[in-house]
Amino acid sequence: MTAIVDGSLGFTAPIGAIYNGLQQATVQNSTSGTSITFTNIPSWVKRVTVMLSAVQTSGTSQQQIRLGTSGGIVSSGYASAVSQIPGNTASAVTTGFPLSITTGSSDSKSGLYIISNLSGNVWSLAGGNSITSGYTFQTFGTVNLGALLTQVQITTANGTDTFTAGSINILYE
């Protein structure tokens, strides 16, 4: 096995033991269905970045990012909140990481969310988006999955509004 040797930092390690490199999933058009799910996230992943471009849904239900394990998507136990700017309003959520407080179905969201492994199966999220009606939203939160992260899902809180426009992708490392 090839090794990285860096005398100035004082270590020798096999390539891949330190950094597996930035990986990009296949972009998903968010033009149908009630959720977009990225599966088969490798066990070595410590950070996932979710990217949204002009994402719209058919209704006004809050969109959320939910994480999952081999046992399925986790839909409870989140300690998260979203705030709206301007407006100074906030909303705490336990069913996922919220992308907004509420929006109209004609609003499209574009933004970026970084999900990082805190320790073991505990993950933290920070990020935000802007919508076409002029508001921005910032979200922060944490969740203990109880098992290895294997999936990332973008869905709506009511589970019935469908995606109608835009695209979503993830990077992981």
Is the bond preceding residue 86 a cis peptide, omega within 30 degrees? yes
Spell out a b/e string for 10-28, using b for 16 or more CB atoms within 10 Å of the CB, else e. eeeeeeeeeeeeeeebeeb
In a domain, 4, yes or no: no
In a domain, 113, yes or no: yes
pTM of the model: 0.86
Please tell me the distance from the alpha carbon of residue 31 to that of residue 50, in angstroms, as a whole number.
17
Residue range 95-146, pLDDT digits in tens: 999 998 877 777 899 999 999 999 999 999 999 999 888 889 999 999 999 9
CATH of the domain at 80: 2.60.120
Please tell me the distance from the alpha carbon of residue 79 to that of residue 144, in angstroms, as a whole number.
9
Question: What is the tally of structural domains in the chain?
Answer: 1
Q: Which domain holds residue 160?
A: 20-172
In a domain, 15, yes or no: no
Compute the average pLDDT of residues 55-63: 91
In a domain, 12, yes or no: no
68, 152 Cβ separation under 8 angstroms: yes
Residue in 2, 7, 53 with CA at minimum distance from that of residue 31: 53
Residue range 37-52, pLDDT digits in tens: 999 999 999 999 999 9
